[in-house]
Structures are given as C-alpha cells and as structure tokens.
C-alpha cells in the first residue's frame, strides 16, 4: 500500500482511505495502483466481511487530477497512442467493477465533495452514507468530458434515466440531504455525526452472513441485465449453495431456539 491510499482492517471491516486531502483526494496513479491491488485481495480474503471506501479530511474524492488534464492539453506531458490510453483507462476502471461485484458488501462513506470519477466510485459501492452538506456532482460537462468509471451505468439504475441525463448534462451539485431524498445515497447525517454513524452501520453490515450477501449481490446484479428465467436459474443455484453454509445452519438452530443468530461468514 502507498501513501495515496491507506488501508486498515479491524473486526472484519477493511477501510480504504483515499489520502490526498490537500487535493481533495483527487485520483492519482498511485491511488489507482493501490485500489487495483487491494480490492481483488480483500474480495478474496475470508477474514474481511465488508469493504469501506472513504476519503481523508473533508472530501471523499474530487475525481481526476484536472491540473494534470490541463498539462496534457498544453502539451506538457508525454503522450502515448490513442489505443494505449483507452486500454490504460479501461484497466483502471476495473476498480468500479470490483466495488460493485465483489462477493461482500461495499460501503462508501462520503464526508464531503464526491465529483466526477470520485462520484462514480461512490456509486459503484453497494451502499452510501454522506454528510448532509456533502456535495455530489458528475462534473464532467464542466470540463468537456463524457464521464468514466461506470457513472452512466450506476446513475441510470439508481436515479433513473431522466435524472441521470440531467445530472450528466448540467453537472448540477446535489447536497447530501437532497441526495438522500432522490435515492442517490442511503443515509445522510450531520457532518459531526458521520464517523460514528458510518462505524455503527459498518459493524451491522460486517455482522451479516457474508456468503449469503455475496450471492445476493450476484442475484441483484443479474437482475439488472438478465431475463427473469435466467435470474430464477441463478437464484435456485445460489439458494441451494447457501443452504449448505454454516451460517444458515446456525441461524436455523437459533430460530428454533428463539434467539438472535450469530454469523461467522462461513
């Protein structure tokens, strides 16, 4: 792990913190490298029950490094071929797929601005909690870009096609409380309460039956693109697999004994 991305694991909760507070956690090559290495590893670590993505200081992530974009526009940076740049960007964008598809829940904790690719990363997570005053924006139209990291996919499914178009075309800024109203985030709390609220929610999520949650994610993601028949096929397979887990067997006994189950992620 490098200094642009910090990692900690406590009680089954892995927290990845984008750490460039002086630049509102704008994405850097080192940050991408860290995310690209950490997310697959954490996805396959049985001791990890939840992955939290957040930003250091008062911001979540302001997106791409616009100063770097300006240097490229002025010809100050060494250019590679068009195809190489497309391939490089597409590889980096895999971090959104890992956040969205890994077989355990992902939670974005948004203390402040989430813009451009930063907003896309937050949307890639399963769940989002934001400070009421946090500012969320696609931002791409403000700098003449079309958008990346899956934002167009996630927004279409989260807020609907009409509002997604408005957000992309206008680059409007939406604060946390309004983001909650339109379903862009799941919870919005006063900024001073965000650390405690996020920690409590993360603990609740980490205590869930991890294997079942992973299959739930696969079912729900399939429901976005497959036919009902295909989803029913997947649900049948995943249901029988979860019947075989230690978590289900323990929970069934707990139900009969009229006590709360304790899940171990097995």
Q: Which fold has domain 5-206?
A: 2-enoyl-CoA Hydratase; Chain A, domain 1 (3.90.226)
Domain boundary assignment for the chain: 5-206, 210-256
| Residue 53: closest CA among 66, 68, 34 | 34
| Residue 105: closest CA among 8, 194, 199, 213 | 213
Q: What number does CATH give the domain 210-256?
A: 1.10.12
Beta strands in 103-231, from DSSP E residues, in sequence order: 106-110, 114-115, 127-131, 135-137, 174-175, 187-189
pTM of the model: 0.92
> What single DSSP character describes residue 105?
-
User: pLDDT digits over 50-72, tens only?
Assistant: 999 999 999 999 998 766 554 55
Domain pair 5-206 / 210-256, same fold:
no
| Residue 33: partners with Cβ closer than 8 Å, 6 or more residues away | 2
Per-residue pLDDT of the chain (266 residues; tens, 9 = 90+): 689 999 999 999 999 999 999 999 999 999 999 999 999 999 999 999 999 999 999 999 999 876 655 455 455 556 689 999 999 999 999 999 999 999 999 999 999 999 999 999 999 999 999 999 999 999 999 999 999 999 999 999 999 999 999 999 999 999 999 999 999 999 999 999 999 999 999 999 999 999 999 999 999 999 998 999 999 999 999 999 998 998 888 888 878 888 888 887 88
Report the pLDDT value the prediction gives residue 70, as an integer from 0 to 100: 45
For residue 249, the cross-strand partners are none
At what angle are helices 210-223 and 228-243 packed, to 10 degrees?
Answer: 170
């Amino acid at each position: 792990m490098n200094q642009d991305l910090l990692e900690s694991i406590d009680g089954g909760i892995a927290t990845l913190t984008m750490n460039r507070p002086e630049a509102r956690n704008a994405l850097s090559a080192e940050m991408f490298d860290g995310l690209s290495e950490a997310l697959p590893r954490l996805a396959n670590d049985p001791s990890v029950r939840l992955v939290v993505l957040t930003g250091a200081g008062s911001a979540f992530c302001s997106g791409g490094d616009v100063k770097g974009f300006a240097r490229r526009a002025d010809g100050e940076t060494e250019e590679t071929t068009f195809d190489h740049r497309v391939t490089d960007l597409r590889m980096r964008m895999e971090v959104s797929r890992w956040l969205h598809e890994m077989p355990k829940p992902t939670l974005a904790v948004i203390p402040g601005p989430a813009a451009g690719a930063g907003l896309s990363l937050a949307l890639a997570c399963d769940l989002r909690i934001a400070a009421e005053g946090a500012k969320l924006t696609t931002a791409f139209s403000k700098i003449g870009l079309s958008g990346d990291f899956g934002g167009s996919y996630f927004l279409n499914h989260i807020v609907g096609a009409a509002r997604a178009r408005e957000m992309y075309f206008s680059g409007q800024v939406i604060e946390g409380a309004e983001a909650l109203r339109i379903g862009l985030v799941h919870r919005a709390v006063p900024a001073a309460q965000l650390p405690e609220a996020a920690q409590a929610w993360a603990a609740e999520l980490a205590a869930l039956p991890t294997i079942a949650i992973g299959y739930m994610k696969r079912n729900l993601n399939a429901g976005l693109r497959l036919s009902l028949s295909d989803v029913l096929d997947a649900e049948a397979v995943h249901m029988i697999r979860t019947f075989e887990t230690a978590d289900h067997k323990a929970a069934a006994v707990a139900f009969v004994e009229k006590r709360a189950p304790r899940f171990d992620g097995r």
